[in-house]
């Protein structure tokens, strides 16, 4: 049996497709490594950016807007007639007649009542008689003085006697003047027998009747009539001291009264008392109200709304923006690069949900509302756009 010999080459050469497969597998593995590294770097970068975003606090901001209307103040007030005159009698007597009652419209000089004055009439009659007597005595004294003056020229009487007669005439002449003045006084008093209206207005009270005994003077009792001019009314309001500095001619005022719901009347600021009432800490101001239709009445209560002039420096902000520290009150504002800055402020008025800032803020400031306690100066924040008005109405 013969054995065949097979020749085996010294170096076996791998097929070509195996080489290609090897290179492909190597390139794939390298790609996976590079992809994994890139993904890890990208994920880390995303994670850092995400952490940075979530670590930056978001804050709600308030942009100040121009103040369109001044602040308003509602206070109680009292209306009074422009002119009010309680009318008393200047003479003693009895009411003869009265012609006007409460609610009647009267004109200046119109007769309201007449008074019978028997005592005054007798006094006038006596005064007239005394005047005639004084004139007679003065006439006789004048004749005597002239006669003695002629006798003096002929040395029939002494100069002393002539002077005495002339002095007696001058004294009697003075008595005539005094008697005449007394007559005129009594005649003037007789003019007060007619009670007349001092000005155009309305009779608001009548406290007498026919036959009533009248005593002259204010201390004798109630006035006979009261006449009030209500074509214009004075409105008096007690304003808290804190608002006094804002009272000036630019103040606008309106009022309403309970008996005319829904109707508003205009009032004009006239003056203030220049003094503070110690018991209430308020200042009395006076306003004028036109009342041509006589729908308002003197003495009634009114709700008064005062609208102060717009102040350029007045800023009204929500109380939620305030930060209270031991150094005072602060407001956090947002700078142009979204950094936090704190400003110390002074409060002029606290209205509860809003406060008026006196100093510390500018109209251009962007305020952070409800600032977190963790905020510090220079912190970067993310603003949330809102449309709140803080320099508000």
The interaxial angle of helices 159-191 and 118-153, nearest 10 deg, is 160
Tens-digit pLDDT profile for the chain (393 aa)?
A: 444 454 545 544 545 555 566 666 666 666 665 666 555 656 566 655 555 555 677 788 887 665 566 678 899 999 999 999 999 999 999 999 999 999 999 999 999 999 999 999 999 999 999 999 999 999 999 998 888 888 888 887 788 888 888 898 899 999 999 999 999 999 999 999 999 999 999 999 999 999 999 888 877 678 999 999 999 999 999 998 888 777 776 678 999 999 899 999 999 998 888 889 888 889 999 999 999 998 999 999 999 998 877 666 667 788 888 888 888 889 888 888 888 888 888 887 777 888 777 778 887 888 888 888 878 888 888 888 665 444 444
How is residue 211 annotated by DSSP?
Answer: T
Domain boundaries 59-69+312-384, corresponding CATH code? 2.40.420.20
> Structurally, what CATH architecture does the domain formed by 229-307 represent?
Beta Barrel (2.40)
* Phi, psi for 130 (deg, rounded to 5): -65, -35
**C-beta of residue 233 within 8 angstroms of C-beta of residue 82:** yes
Question: Can you give the pLDDT at residue 28?
Answer: 63
Q: Are 166 and 157 in contact (CB under 8 A)?
A: no
The topology under which CATH files domain 118-191 is Helix Hairpins (1.10.287)
Domain boundaries along the sequence of the chain: 59-69+312-384, 118-191, 229-307
What pLDDT does 79 receive?
Answer: 95
Is 274:247 a contact under the CB 8 Å cutoff?
no
Output the 3-class SS for the chain.
CCCCCCCCCCCCCCCHHHHHHHHHHHHHHHHHHHHHHHHHHHHHHHHHHHHHHHHCCEEEEEECCCCCCCCEEEEEEEEEEEEEEEECCCCCEEEEEECCCCCCEECCCCEEEEEECHHHHHHHHHHHHHHHHHHHHHHHHHHHHHHHHHHHHCCCCCHHHHHHHHHHHHHHHHHHHHHHHHHHHHHHHHHCCEEECCCCEEEEEECCCCCCEECCCHHHCCCCEEEEEEEEEEEEEEEEHHHHHHCCCCCEEEEECCCCCCCCEEEEEEEEEEEEECCCCEEEEEEEEECCCCCCCCCCEEEEEEECCCCCCCEEEEHHHEEEECCEEEEEEECCCCEEEEEEEEEEEECCCEEEEEECCCCCCEEEECCCCCCCCCCECEEECCCCCCCCC
């Amino acid at each position: 049996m013969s054995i065949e010999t097979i020749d085996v080459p010294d170096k076996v050469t791998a097929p070509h497709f195996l080489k290609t497969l090897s290179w492909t597998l190597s390139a794939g593995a390298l790609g996976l490594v590079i992809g994994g590294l890139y993904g890890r770097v990208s994920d880390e970068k995303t994670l850092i950016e995400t952490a940075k975003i979530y670590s930056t606090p978001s804050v709600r901001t308030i942009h100040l807007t121009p103040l369109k209307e001044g602040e308003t103040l509602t206070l109680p007030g009292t209306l009074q007639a422009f002119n009010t005159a309680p009318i008393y009698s200047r003479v003693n007597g009895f009411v003869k007649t009265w012609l006007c009652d409460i609610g009647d419209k009267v004109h200046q000089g119109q007769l309201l009542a007449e008074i019978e004055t028997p005592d005054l009439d007798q006094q006038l009659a006596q005064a007239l008689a005394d005047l005639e007597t004084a004139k007679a005595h003065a006439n006789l004294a004048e004749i005597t003085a002239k006669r003695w003056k002629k006798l003096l020229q002929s040395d029939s009487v002494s100069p002393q006697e002539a002077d005495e007669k002339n002095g007696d005439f001058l004294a009697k002449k003075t008595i005539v003047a005094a008697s005449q003045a007394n007559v005129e006084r009594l005649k003037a008093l007789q003019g007060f027998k007619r009670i007349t209206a001092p000005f155009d207005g309305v009779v608001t009270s009548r406290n007498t009747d026919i036959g009533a005994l009248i005593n002259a003077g204010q201390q004798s009792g109630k006035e006979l009539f009261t006449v009030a001019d209500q074509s214009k009314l004075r409105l008096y309001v007690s304003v808290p001291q804190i608002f006094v500095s804002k009272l000036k001619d630019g103040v606008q005022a309106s009022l309403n009264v309970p008996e005319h719901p829904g109707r508003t009347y205009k009032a004009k600021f006239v003056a203030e008392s220049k003094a503070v009432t110690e018991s209430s800490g308020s200042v009395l101001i006076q306003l004028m109200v036109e009342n041509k239709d006589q729908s308002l009445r003197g003495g009634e209560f009114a709700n008064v709304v005062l609208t102060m002039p717009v102040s350029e420096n007045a800023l009204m902000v929500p109380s939620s923006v305030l930060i209270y520290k031991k150094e005072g009150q602060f407001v956090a504002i947002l700078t142009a690069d979204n950094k936090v800055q704190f400003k110390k402020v002074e409060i002029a008025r606290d209205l509860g949900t809003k406060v008026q800032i006196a100093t510390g803020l500018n109209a251009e400031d962007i305020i952070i509302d409800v600032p977190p306690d963790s905020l510090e100066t220079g912190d970067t924040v993310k603003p949330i756009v809102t449309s709140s008005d803080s320099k508000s109405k």
